[in-house]
């Protein structure tokens, strides 16, 4: 007899019993704090030839490529010097407009110019006219200037234009 249609599957699968003879108890290896950790000293690791570190050293890659590293440090120093020159032309207390990528132009007052602890390079602290910022003039507990929450932001000098930028009236006071 020939059947048409999809093949049929058995309605019951055969039962299989598995017996664990390893001696492990249920949940024994779930608590990783009970697992003994393997450690090796830095000196012993440096002597091994089959490690990623020895491969990077042999191939002069990453931080072990002195030429590339010197070039990166020179580029970083040049960027810092350019940022310092840009930042020196932005006086604290002046009105400004910030044109950061992905944001509409925002106006405010320059409150801080200089280096920060939260990221390398020169930063401009701006107190915006409207609550368009990210902070209150402090980052990671360190205060750089005073302003209301959500009115402060730090931006790179390249996106700040100093000039006669009066406060815009958005009509929010009439609501």
CB 129 within 8 A of CB 110: no
What pTM, to 2 d.p., does this model score?
A: 0.62
Segments in 31-171 forming alpha helices (H): 42-47, 52-59, 66-88
CB 44 within 8 A of CB 54: no
Q: Predicted confidence band at 76 (pLDDT cuts at 50, 70, 90)? A: very high
Please tell me the distance from the alpha carbon of residue 19 to that of residue 133, in angstroms, as a whole number. 63
The more confident residue out of 19 and 95 is 95
Is the pLDDT reported for residue 153 higher than 70? yes
How much is the mean pLDDT over the chain? 87
């Amino acid at each position: 007899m020939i059947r048409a249609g999809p093949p049929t599957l058995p309605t019951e699968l055969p039962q299989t019993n598995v017996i664990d003879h390893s001696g492990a108890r249920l949940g024994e290896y779930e608590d990783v704090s009970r697992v003994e950790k393997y450690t090796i000293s830095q000196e012993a690791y440096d002597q091994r030839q089959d490690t990623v570190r020895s491969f990077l050293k042999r191939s002069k890659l990453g931080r072990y490529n002195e030429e590339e590293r010197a070039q990166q440090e020179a580029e970083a120093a040049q960027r810092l010097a350019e940022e310092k020159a840009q930042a020196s032309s932005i006086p604290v207390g002046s009105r400004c407009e910030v044109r950061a990528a992905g944001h509409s132009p925002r106006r405010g007052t320059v409150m801080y110019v200089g280096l920060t602890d939260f990221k390398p390079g020169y930063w401009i602290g701006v107190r915006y006219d409207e609550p368009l910022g990210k902070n209150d003039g402090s980052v990671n507990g360190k205060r750089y200037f005073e302003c209301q929450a959500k009115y402060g932001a730090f931006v790179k000098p390249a996106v700040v234009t100093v000039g006669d930028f009066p406060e815009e009236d958005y009509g929010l006071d009439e609501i």
